[in-house]
């Protein structure tokens, strides 16, 4: 059973490209195969091509026509073990005018980050952090994005109650 990585994504580009990708999904499910096809699933190929071992359930994703010749696929999903950064990088590289940004957190392994196809990956580990020291490990924008101070404080209080 994998740890689950929580992801929020915004993929924006020419409406024909984004619409075609969305149409290859099942309402957002199997998005990775739609944007970076691997054909028949194979563990090694999935890891190399997508950055995670399984495709995603897209129940938290939606297609948006931005009414300006562009469209977006936006929302949230969970992925196994790690964020599917390679799938989004390949999709952006293969489709001029497409940009993607993904925020991700894997609580079990204590890492959090943001990736986009312009600036790359900004990943931070925080296994040694406490609610009082989290900002020494993780930039403020990610602490705020995932409410890490509060969440760590809740874990600390729970630990105290269990002792």
pLDDT tens figures, 4-36 = 999 999 999 999 999 999 999 999 999 999 999
The angle at the Cα of 20, spanning 16 to 25, to the nearest 5 degrees, equals 150
For residue 108, how far is the Cα from the chain centroid? 15
Query: In angstroms, what is the C-alpha Rg of the chain?
Result: 17
Q: Binning pLDDT at 50, 70 and 90, where does residue 114 land?
A: very high
Angstrom distances, CA of residue 58 to CA of 10, 34, 44, 74, 79? 13, 12, 22, 10, 10
- pTM here is 0.94
């Amino acid at each position: 059973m994998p740890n689950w990585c929580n992801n929020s994504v915004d993929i924006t580009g020419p409406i024909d490209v984004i619409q075609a990708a969305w149409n290859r999904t099942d309402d957002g499910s199997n998005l990775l195969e739609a944007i970076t096809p691997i054909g028949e699933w194979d563990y090694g190929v999935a890891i190399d091509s997508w950055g995670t071992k399984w495709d995603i359930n897209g129940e938290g994703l939606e297609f948006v026509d931005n009414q300006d010749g562009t469209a977006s696929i936006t929302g949230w999903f969970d992925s196994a073990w790690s964020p599917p950064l390679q799938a989004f990088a390949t999709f952006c590289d293969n489709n001029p005018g497409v940009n993607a940004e993904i925020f991700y957190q894997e609580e079990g392994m204590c890492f959090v980050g943001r990736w986009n196809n312009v600036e790359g990956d900004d990943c931070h580990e925080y296994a040694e952090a406490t609610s009082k020291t989290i900002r020494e490990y993780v930039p403020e924008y990610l602490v705020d994005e995932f409410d890490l101070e509060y969440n760590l404080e809740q874990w600390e209080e729970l630990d105290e109650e269990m002792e």
